[in-house]
Structure 1
Amino acid sequence: MARSKGFDPDRVLDSAMHTFWKQGYAATSAQDLCEATGIGRSSLYGTFESKHGLYMRSLQRYAESGTAGLRELVETDGPVRERVRRMLDSIVDEEASQPGLGCFVVNAQIERAPTDPEVASVVRRGRAEVVDALVRTLRAAQADGEIAADKDPEVLADFVHAQIGAIRLLGRSQAERATMEHVVEVAVGAL
């Protein structure tokens, strides 16, 4: 008979995710992970195989949740500028509520993606999903006359997504909320 794990893997992933998010991959030791999750090293590695395996599962969990949330905000009903504003405002709210923490995916993109193909893949996939949702939304808005016919929805989607990254970096650097809100104003105005 197989022995059941004495812990909830989802709770462990959440705890590990917050540790990696706050400290980064390189600065997080196995001991940090054991303390954060409340489980021993053998259980941690027995379930997640390695520090990198735990990091990747944590990053994927965060990315999937964040991407789904952004897509949901932009794919709702209503005028396109309001939907894009809601999406960007939600990012400003997140960054203002956790000064200096930034976004786990953006942090991973900076720290790990240049040398870790698995991290780069998660980053690319998340970006593609959000940009695709924006392109579809902007094309529909253009067909409805909300966006000028001479504007390229793909270029606008890339621009809006770049502003997401800009707001995330501003939040990481503890910029004032007003500065992040200025980015939102210009981005929405560009539509």
Structure 2
Amino acid sequence: MARTREFDTEAAVSRTMELFWVRGYEATSVRDLTRHLGIGQGSLYAAFGDKDGLYRAALEHYRTTFAAAALRSLDEGSDARSAIRAMLIERVRIAVELGGRGCLLVNAACERVPEDAATHRTVRDALGASQDALAEVLRVAADRGEISTRHDAHTLAAFLVTFLNGLLVSSKITPDPRALEPLVEVALATLD
């Protein structure tokens, strides 16, 4: 008879996400994970397969929580420019307030891509979803005359996602949102 799982896997993934976000993949051992979660190796392997499986689950959890919240915030602005400004500044503020951790997806790309194909797919899909959502906001804004049509919405969205990724890396070096806000204004000039 199989033993029943003795821990909440969703809570474990959330706690693991925090550990990977602070320490990174390579600096986090299986022993660190089992200690952090208060479970045995057998339970970890039974639930997630291995460290890689738990890492992918943590990345996916980040995508459905933190990254999804950023996309939802795009719908809350009164106009596209304000919504995009607020989203960019909020992402930097969160990254700085969380101790300069940056973005887990960007960190994963820097640490694990291109060697780890599964991480590559996860990061690519998450950034692609962000780009698609942003492109739709930009397309609607262009149709309403809120922004210039000189740039294709998908190209502009790709630029803004790339800019945000760089901004999140910069927030680790310069953990002061006020110092980075002027850069947001320069990026928003591409909407003119």
TM-score normalised by the chain length of structure 1: 0.93
Q: Which residue of 2 aligns with 1:146?
A: 146
Q: Deviations over 1:126-162 (max 9, x none)?
A: 1111111111111111111111232322221112111
* In the alignment, structure 1 residue 158 sits paired with structure 2 residue 161: no
Paired amino acid for 2:176: E
* In the alignment, structure 1 residue 89 sits paired with structure 2 residue 89: yes
CA–CA distance in structure 2, aligned partners of residues 100 and 30 of structure 1 = 24
Q: Which residue of 2 aligns with 1:17?
A: 17
TM-score normalised by the chain length of structure 2: 0.92
- What RMSD in Å do the two structures reach over aligned CA positions? 1.6
Total equivalences in the alignment: 191
Paired amino acid for 1:91: R
CA–CA distance in structure 1, aligned partners of residues 174 and 19 of structure 2 = 19
Q: Which residue of 2 aligns with 1:106?
A: 106
CA–CA distance in structure 2, aligned partners of residues 168 and 153 of structure 1 = 22
CA–CA distance in structure 2, aligned partners of residues 98 and 71 of structure 1 = 19
Q: Which residue of 2 aligns with 1:171?
A: 171
Query: SS at 2:145's partner residue?
Result: coil
Q: Which residue of 2 aligns with 1:136?
A: 136
Overall identity of the aligned pairs, in % = 34
How much has 1:17 moved relative to structure 2? 1.2
Q: Which residue of 2 aligns with 1:49?
A: 49
Paired amino acid for 2:39: I
Which structure 2 segments of 5+ residues have no match? none
* In the alignment, structure 1 residue 121 sits paired with structure 2 residue 121: yes
How much has 1:176 moved relative to structure 2? 2.6
Aligned 8 A contact 2:96 2:102 in 1: no
Q: Deviations over 1:37-75 (max 9, x none)?
A: 111111111111101111111111112223321221113
Paired amino acid for 1:52: D
How much has 1:177 moved relative to structure 2? 2.1
| Displacement over 3 Å in runs of 4+ | none
Q: Which residue of 1 aligns with 2:33?
A: 33
Query: Bigger shift: 145-154 or 29-38?
Result: 145-154
Aligned 8 A contact 1:99 1:174 in 2: no
